[in-house]
Structure 1
Amino acid sequence: MDSRLNLRTAALLTVPPLLWAGNAVTGRLVNGLVPPITLNFLRWFFAFLILLPLAGWVMRRSSPLWPHWKRFALLGLLGVGCYNALQYLALKTSTPLNVTLVAASTPIWMLFVGAWFFGQRITSRQMAGAVLSIAGVLVVLSHGDWDALLQVRLVPGDFYVLLATFAWAFYSWLLIRPGDPPEIRGDWAAFLMAQMVFGLGWSLLFAAGEWSAGITHIEWGWPLAVALAYVAIGPAILAYRCWGIGVQRVGPTIAAFFSNLTPLFAAVMSATMLGELPHVYHAIAFVLIVGGIVVSSQRR
């Protein structure tokens, strides 16, 4: 792992938040067409079908996956199953503003998970970068009006978001742990498929809980088909592919700061779809978030 951040790696790590922002907008558009946790399962099911011709060999009995099944089952649980399912659960009892606000703590969680479980040292530059990055998210959420943040009240559902960010932080640190079979680690499709084999099972389990509660209505049609194609190819396959490469190059700590670009991209996309031009506070937020990335990635 090389902790130096260059333009190529920065571009790679910008792709996931851009695609995840589109995923958030898409989720709002199909809100009445499919239950949220079912949407997550369908997204990974179609992503699985897309990767099957490229990495179906991973599921063979002779595959090197099975001696390492515990590790990939954990990656699948944290990255594919828990992360999105917990966010969807949070939205049942919380608001999008609260969810995004709590999720902005991802860089902080990434720092502390690295320190608590993986023996990483937290530097003053990393803490300063985290403060700048979170400040940028706050500017987006408040629309430049700080009084709006004073009206935010945390609710029990926000606890699910904290669990989701913890799961994502742990997942990201596990990505750089050594010991994976070289046949799988060296093949991006195989590495993602190895996680997806188990993650799809976790997603199905969570979706079954939703179905048992009687939430089963799905309106099939072209709008849902286009949405599923996007979330399967973009936020699932391409985003996880780019995130994995970026984390392996610069580490989870620096990569985490890029995740705070997601609410900024989502806000700009939403404004554009409504025919509105980006505002000055969007530019201020961008400067703060990028400033956090630059400060945290600088070496002494």
Structure 2
Amino acid sequence: MIQSFFIWQKCWLYIRSTLQPAHQQQKKDRVALYGVLMVLLSAVLFSGKAVLAKLVYCQSTMSVSELLVLRMLFSLPFYAAMLLMQWQQHKRNTTHQPFMQRSHVLPTILLGLLGYYISSFFDFWGLKHISAGLERVILFSYPTMVVLFGAWFFKEKIQRHQVLALLLSYAGIAIAFAADFEQPQSGNVWIGAAFIVGCAITFSLYVLFSGKLVPQVGVSKFTAVAMLSATTAIFLHYFVMGGGVQQLLSFSPQVYGYMLLMAVFTTVVPSLLVSAGLKRVGSSNVAIISSVGPIVTIFQAWYFLGEPFGWQQAIGTVLVVAGVLWVSKKTTQQSKAD
């Protein structure tokens, strides 16, 4: 009887040891799937920001500073509540670890300023001059910039496939850029494009370095601190430049409705989703999944704003997306091989 028990115990231990790797792999697959869905939804939501901004510009005389202040003002309660929840959870914890490591505070603040203060100003200044569709096509060059900046900062050799991806992406931008000159514009296309390129550069640096920091700080804590830092900088910028409260109260209810949508559904929710996605799938896979962004924005701009969508925009978008997919695929293959 005892001997039979030990035989069955050995059989069970063997079966469990055999099934455990498969179970762990299934768990990893689920985590990766959740990450993919998070990044996909964040890309779709982020894509609506340009369309909402164009609607606000069309229906008001709102300046870039006023737009950013209202956007962050509506977002502020969510990020403040998020940080408060993190603080309360930390107080309930029995460990004596600090709420946030001192070495993480300054980098998180600087990344918030880079990704949601400087980058946002470049983005909304650019949207004053160019179409929402072109803005998204140019801005979507940031994944190739992530790879190049990664090679620069982390001393990795630039590969041949990265050069090919750059050629594809910027050829697509040039085609879409040329198409915009054939359409009536509310501003200077060159100036608008330059601002969006600046936005792409600063946002690519944000993605590159936040991808390293988020796993150490935590998704909610990093997002809340980064966004509150950017909010503080935007408020200071507005009031130092002579802005007043009265100006912020002078717009129509419809404009405030657009701003609320922009704050919640194209700022708060996607910023959380992309941070969570970076933690689960990494920056290279985020670049792959985010390839839906330009397509969604161009469709939304055609549907809501009446912006044209011709063969040049289609070819430009396909080339940019192909460049990003190519460099991201190769990067992922290399990381797996390593």
Regarding TM over 0.5, the answer is: yes
Amino acid at match of 2:277: G
Shift of residue 174, structure 1, vs aligned partner = 1.2
**Structure 1 pair 281/249, CA: closer, same or farther in 2 (3 Å)?**
farther
Shift of residue 9, structure 1, vs aligned partner = 4.6
Q: Is the 8 A contact 2:139 2:200 kept in 1?
A: yes
Alignment of 1:265-280 (within 5 A): 265-273=296-304
Is 1:223 the counterpart of 2:258 in the alignment? no
Larger Rg: 2
The size of the alignment, in residue pairs, is 287
Q: Is the 8 A contact 1:79 1:167 kept in 2?
A: yes
Amino acid at match of 2:250: E
Is 1:192 the counterpart of 2:223 in the alignment? yes
Amino acid at match of 1:265: V
Q: TM-score, with normalisation over the residues of structure 1?
A: 0.74
Cα distance in 2 for residues equivalent to 1:242 and 1:291:
24
Alignment of 1:1-300 (within 5 A): 9-31=35-57, 32=60, 34-58=62-86, 64-65=99-100, 67=102, 68-91=104-127, 94-96=129-131, 102-138=138-174, 140-141=176-177, 155=190, 158-178=193-213, 184-185=217-218, 188-212=219-243, 216=247, 218-253=249-284, 255-256=286-287, 261-273=292-304, 284=315, 287-296=318-327, 297-298=329-330, 299=333
Cα distance in 1 for residues equivalent to 2:280 and 2:215:
16
Amino acid at match of 1:197: L
Secondary structure of 2:212's counterpart equals: coil
Shift of residue 261, structure 1, vs aligned partner = 4.5
Amino acid at match of 1:115: A
Deviates more, 1:74-83 or 1:228-237: 228-237
Q: For each residue in 1:110-169, what CA deviation from the matched residue of structure 2 results, as whole angstroms up to 9, or x when unmatched? A: 2221122233443333333343344445555555x9x959xxx87466544343222211
Secondary structure of 1:83's counterpart equals: helix
**Structure 1 runs of 4+ with >6 Å offset:** 59-62, 275-278
Q: For each residue in 1:219-261, what CA deviation from the matched residue of structure 2 results, as whole angstroms up to 9, or x when unmatched? A: 3443123212211122212222232233334443553466564
Amino acid at match of 2:147: L
Q: Is the 8 A contact 1:41 1:203 kept in 2?
A: yes
Secondary structure of 1:122's counterpart equals: coil
Q: Is the 8 A contact 1:81 1:199 kept in 2?
A: yes
Q: Is the 8 A contact 1:34 1:218 kept in 2?
A: no
**Structure 1 pair 137/251, CA: closer, same or farther in 2 (3 Å)?**
farther
Shift of residue 39, structure 1, vs aligned partner = 1.7
Secondary structure of 1:200's counterpart equals: helix
Identify which of structures 1 and 2 has the higher relative contact order when contacts are C-alpha pairs closer than 8 Å and 6+ apart.
1
In percent, how many aligned pairs have the same letter?
20
Deviates more, 1:167-176 or 1:7-16: 7-16
Shift of residue 104, structure 1, vs aligned partner = 4.8
What stretches of structure 2 of length at least 5 have no aligned partner? 1-27, 92-97
What stretches of structure 1 of length at least 5 have no aligned partner? none
Q: Is the 8 A contact 1:18 1:262 kept in 2?
A: yes
Q: Is the 8 A contact 2:120 2:199 kept in 1?
A: yes
**Structure 1 pair 59/200, CA: closer, same or farther in 2 (3 Å)?**
farther
Q: Is the 8 A contact 2:142 2:204 kept in 1?
A: yes
Cα distance in 1 for residues equivalent to 2:138 and 2:324:
19
Q: Is the 8 A contact 1:58 1:65 kept in 2?
A: no
Deviates more, 1:192-201 or 1:172-181: 172-181
Amino acid at match of 2:209: L
Deviates more, 1:130-139 or 1:81-90: 130-139
Q: Is the 8 A contact 1:169 1:252 kept in 2?
A: no
In proportion to residue count, which structure has more helix? 2
Cα distance in 1 for residues equivalent to 2:168 and 2:273:
24
Amino acid at match of 2:117: G
